[in-house]
Structure formats: structure tokens, C-alpha cells
Structure 1
């Protein structure tokens, strides 16, 4: 599956704990990545500075859904579940 152009749900919904150029402390969940253009394209795509989590995230029907809104909701839920699970093991 290929990314849906202009979606950018994966660049907004999840948190990123590693540094991003322009965001040295990473990115909180729900915050638009500073590396997104106005038309929702990644300025770092294909570049060495792109965080490993972004490089390794592959689009899937489950994650992307049928619309950008569905993708955002799925990733938002995944973020919440990840935080809840992490708290259980701390």
C-alpha cells in the first residue's frame, strides 16, 4: 500500500521520542511535525535526518483506513493504548 497523498495522520497523531530537525526533543502526540509542508508532505522524506520511527512506519490498510480521518483516529487510539500499556509496566 502507498501513502495517501496529503493525509499526514502519521506526522500528527503519534508522538515521536527521537529528535527531529527543528524539534530537538521529539514531537508530542497530536502536534503537527515541523517538517510537514503546507500540503502535508514530509520535508525529510528520503533524507538521512528523518527519524528511524518514520522510516520504519509502513502504510497499511488497517492503519490508513479509507480516509485521513480514519487514519488519524486509528493512530490516536494506538498512541493512547501505547501510553496505557507503558504505564502498566512502570
Structure 2
């Protein structure tokens, strides 16, 4: 599966516990990453400073669903299920 252009769900729904460019304390779940532009495209995509966690994310139907709305819901549910 290819990324849905302009989706950005993986840059909004999950938490990131490590520092990322522009967010030294990481990113809480449900908070838009500061590196996501107005078109929901990552400003760091393809750049060496892009976090390894973000670069490792691979889109798939079970995570991304059939739409941006479904992707936000699926990733948010996974975030809730994996909280300690």
C-alpha cells in the first residue's frame, strides 16, 4: 500500500516519546506534528533529520483503512490499546 497523499494521520494520532525536530519533548497522541505542513505532508520526508520511528512507519490497510478519517480512528485506537 502507498501512503495516502495528504492524509497525515500517522503524524497526528500516535504519540512519539522521543525528541523530534521542533518538538524536543516528543509529541502527545492526537497532537499535530509541527513538521506536518498545511497540506498534511511531512516537511522532513526524505531528509536525514526525519526521525527513524517516522521513517520506519509503513502504510498498510489494517492501520490506514480506506480513508484519512478511518486511519485517524485506527491509529488512535492502537495508541489507546498500547498505553502502559
Name the TM-score class by shorter chain: over 0.9
Q: Structure 1 residue runs of 4+, over 2 Å off? A: none
- In structure 2, how many angstroms separate the alpha carbons of the residues matched to 1:21 and 1:38? 17
Alignment partner, residue 47 of structure 2: 47
TM-score where L is the length of structure 1: 0.90
* Gap regions ≥5 residues in structure 2: none
How many residue pairs end up in the alignment?
84
- In structure 2, how many angstroms separate the alpha carbons of the residues matched to 1:82 and 1:51? 20
Alignment partner, residue 37 of structure 2: 37
Larger-gyration structure (1/2): 1
> Pairwise CA RMSD of aligned residues?
0.6
* Gap regions ≥5 residues in structure 1: none
